[in-house]
Amino acid sequence: MAIQKPLSHHELCSEYLKHIALIAPLQEPLLLYGHPGLRTLFFAYHIHRKSNNAGLLFKQIDAFSFLPAKDNSFMHQLKSYAALDNIGSLFIKNIQLLTPSLQRELYYFIINEKKARIIALASGDLFLRTKEKKFSKKLFYLLQNSPLELISV
């Protein structure tokens, strides 16, 4: 059995971009896993640019900015972005930091949102958090359609 050489930086990035090209056209919510500093915004924006919403707006919201538990502010910001006529994608960073009440509201928001595609980023193990009842099972499975784990490239 021959040992394969590891992918180079360029080859690995190329593989990511091929995978993104496959999932970008989907209108379903998308979950990205990755740690801060892994060019998560670059990948989220690249997904948006390769999607059917490419000519529309891409907006980012960071759950960290709404701590501690500024539930009304977070949902107000999210809904104001979604209300824009030319919104294409909403990128929600640090989704693992949302309170249970925000997770519940976000779940129903995503179910009812028809214009914008939701791209969420988690920098922790959401499966484990769900198993430990620290993250909404409904929201986790809604976002888990086609997860993409980002590694340092």
Using alpha carbons, list the distances in angstroms from residue 57 to 12, 30, 53, 91: 28, 17, 8, 11
Task: Give the number of other CB atoms < 10 A from CB of residue 12.
Answer: 14
Q: What is the chain's mean pLDDT, rounded? A: 84
Distance, in Å, from the CA atom of 86 to the CA atom of 55, rounded to the nearest integer, reads 9
pLDDT, tens only, 112-127: 988 889 999 998 888 8
Distance, in Å, from the CA atom of 18 to the CA atom of 12, rounded to the nearest integer, reads 10
pLDDT, tens only, 90-101: 999 999 999 888
Query: Does pTM top 0.75 for this prediction?
Result: yes
Q: Give the pLDDT confidence score for residue 130 in this predicted structure.
A: 92
